[in-house]
Structure formats: structure tokens, C-alpha cells
A and B are shown apart, each in its own frame.
Chain A
């Protein structure tokens, strides 16, 4: 379908940038993945909630558990970044504050995910023993 608006008209009227769909789809894809992953996470949390350090290390060191924990961390990190981004975009309209919050959201989610992923890998690969 031909768009009769010129690029300048679109920019002046603040028309759609045209790449919102990918973000929307990615948020849904991560949501679908998180249904089984979070249910497994609840099981994992119950498994180690009453356990001590050694049992927790043994749990995390199991290859299947380690991979599932990493998937929970990475996919939920992605999902919470996408979700919080939409919240910021909905409620903050001034360019500076909005940009600062969007950057903060990106940095916090990436930092938190990276710290957790590194720690799990360290434990799972034997560094903590």
C-alpha cells in the first residue's frame, strides 16, 4: 500500500516511526518463553529455599538447572527491559527525562542480568568450590 504522506509530513506530525511491531512481537515472544521458565523458577526456588550453601551450589552446578537459570535470567532481563520501556514511554513526555529513564532502564537491566549470569556461571563451572 502506498503511503501518500511525505517523510517530512510524517516527521512533523510525529507519525509512527514504523518499527514498533518488532518491539511488540519481541515482548510477546519473551512472554511465551517465560510461562514455562517462571513456573520452573518457582519449583527451583522451592527446591533450594530450605537448603544451605552446599546444596544450592550442587543445584546450580547441575547442567540442566544451570542452563534453565541462565535462560530465566536472560529472557526475563529482556522482558523487563521491554516492559519498563513501554511504561516510561507512556508516562514521560519531556525528551530529557524520558531519554534519561530509557537509558537508565537499559543500563540497569543489562547490568543486573550480566552480574547474575556471571555469578551463576562462576558457581556452575566450579569457581565457588
Chain B
């Protein structure tokens, strides 16, 4: 393998920057995306349990309804709504909109607030129904 003529430039990394909100929202986007990767495996597990029949399905749902299962599901709900809201934010940026410091900070706050509120609403509805059986 040949050595490159010159090393490619790297962008300044985390330690160079003062912490700011748009940095946090960016990191959270990746973190929640990876969490949802694990969540997709849980959803596939649900589909497999349903396909496996009436014995496997309640066992899988009981697992999800356990304290640890619920903790994971709350985290995944939060991750889903955050990744969704922040993804919309990214789509606006890709269209060249909302890129100023003030607007991007405000939209970041909105994305985080939305994910918390939406998670509370969904779980209030879910637990109101009796939750995962």
C-alpha cells in the first residue's frame, strides 16, 4: 500500500471547542440513532415472537413489561422522538434553512423539549391502557 502524498486534513475535534447546545444536539443525534439500532433489533424480536406463536408472544411481551424492559422502552421512545425531531432539523439545514446560531440553538431546544413531552404523552396513553400486558 502506498503512502498518501500528504495526510488529508481533519476537522478540529471535541477538545478544541467550548461546550454549546448545538454540539450536544449533534452528539445526541448519533447516540439516539445507535440506540434505535438496538431498538430495531427489539422490534424484530417482537415480530419473531409473534410469528413463533401464542406461547412465545406473551413471554416476549412480559419481558418488555418487566421493570428493565420498560426502562429500555422509555429510553427508546425518548430516542425515537428526539431522532425524529432532530432529523427534521437536519432536513431544514440540508435545504439551507435555519442555520444561524440563534435559530439552530432555538430549534435544538425545541427538538429536546418535543422529545420529552411526546414521550410523556405516549407513556401516559400507554399506561392508561394498562401498558404492555
Question: What residues make up the interface of A, taking CB atoms closer than 8 Å to B?
Answer: 9, 12-14, 28, 31-32, 34-35, 38-39, 42, 45-46, 49-54, 56-57, 60, 69, 73, 76-77, 80, 83-84, 87, 112-113, 115-116, 118-120, 122-123, 127-128
Q: Which of B15-23, B40-48, B97-105, B107-115 contacts A (4 or more CB under 8 A)?
A: B40-48
Main secondary structure of the interface of A (DSSP, over half): helix
Q: Are A119 and B48 in contact (CB under 8 A)?
A: yes
Decide if B4 is an interface residue (CB 8 Å cutoff). yes
Interface residue ranges, B against A (CB under 8 Å): 2, 4-6, 8, 30, 33-34, 36-37, 40-41, 43-44, 47-48, 50-54, 57-58, 77, 80, 84, 87-88, 90-91, 94, 122, 125-126, 129-133
- A-B contacts counted at CB < 8 A amount to 104
Question: Are B129 and A31 within 8 A (Cβ)?
Answer: no
From A15, which residue of chain B is reached at the shortest CB distance?
Answer: B8
